[in-house]
Amino acid sequence: MRFLGGKHRISKYIAPLVLSRNRVGIIVEPFCGGLHMTTRLLSIDPSVHVLASDIHGDLIDMWKALQDGWVPPRNMSRDERAALKAGPSCPERTFGGYACSFGGNWFAGYAEDSSGRNYCLNAHNSLMKIVPLLSRVTFRHGSYEDQDIPMGAVVYCDPPYAGTTSPGAGGTFNHDTFWAWAASMNESCFVSEYSAPESFTEVWQKDVKTDMHTTSGKAQRVEKLFVNHTS
């Protein structure tokens, strides 16, 4: 499913690095978002269990519903999506808010193009493919600061990047507070960002085209992965 800031382009590179620190079979993801990293971790290592959380409660409710057997729609018109946006929280509303939105941004413009591509069906298919993996995920709603970190677990964080649009619940995000939290952790904590404090070690980088457009085409950024401990 399309998700603003999702790691679908780079999860195949960074997931093995995160798993290289795996000792107890538990990966903690306090910013699980569109589950691109979660499902990559689970696909690579069948022994891993992921504790996945996100500040956007509607998103977590949708993942739990999918885990419990809910089937996302195959089609959603512009009017149907608009009605869902104005209605109460439900899995279909969350699905429409992301899967049928331009760039996977929460209730952005209705996703469509001149080719007639069915974005809703594409998202339906991608979500149904990951259902078998979700038995190894424990979902919870909450801030990264409230996440329980089991001893020996590896933590992977994909927070809102500094200077970019925050998907989902939105609101403000205190980057200084986040980095202090990540640096204080006894367990290995990996963070995806463009830059990090000096106390973090860069372990990977790659030029990646983003979904943001400029006059010369899609913008390109250097995605990086940092870790708080080198040993």
Tokens of 29: 């993801």
Mean pLDDT of 2-26: 90
Indicate whether 209 belongs to any domain: no
Which residues form the domain of 146? 21-188
Indicate whether 116 belongs to any domain: yes
Res 124 pLDDT > 50 = yes
Indicate whether 195 belongs to any domain: no
β-sheet with 154-157: strand ranges across: 137-141, 49-54, 26-29, 154-157, 189-193, 217-227, 201-214
Indicate whether 8 belongs to any domain: no
Mean pLDDT of 60-86: 98
pLDDT at residue 210, rounded to an integer: 65
pLDDT at residue 167, rounded to an integer: 53
Indicate whether 56 belongs to any domain: yes
Task: Work out the mean pLDDT of the chain and round it to a whole number.
Answer: 91
Indicate whether 70 belongs to any domain: yes
The number of domains in the chain is 1
Mean pLDDT of 163-182: 79
pLDDT at residue 219, rounded to an integer: 65
Indicate whether 9 belongs to any domain: no
pLDDT at residue 214, rounded to an integer: 39
Can you tell me the distance from the alpha carbon of 140 to that of 67, in angstroms, rounded to the nearest whole number? Answer: 13
pLDDT at residue 169, rounded to an integer: 52
Which one has a higher pLDDT value, 134 or 5?
134
- SS3 string, 177-202, reads HHHHHHHCCCCCEEEEECCCCCCCEE
Indicate whether 208 belongs to any domain: no
% of the chain at pLDDT higher than 90: 80
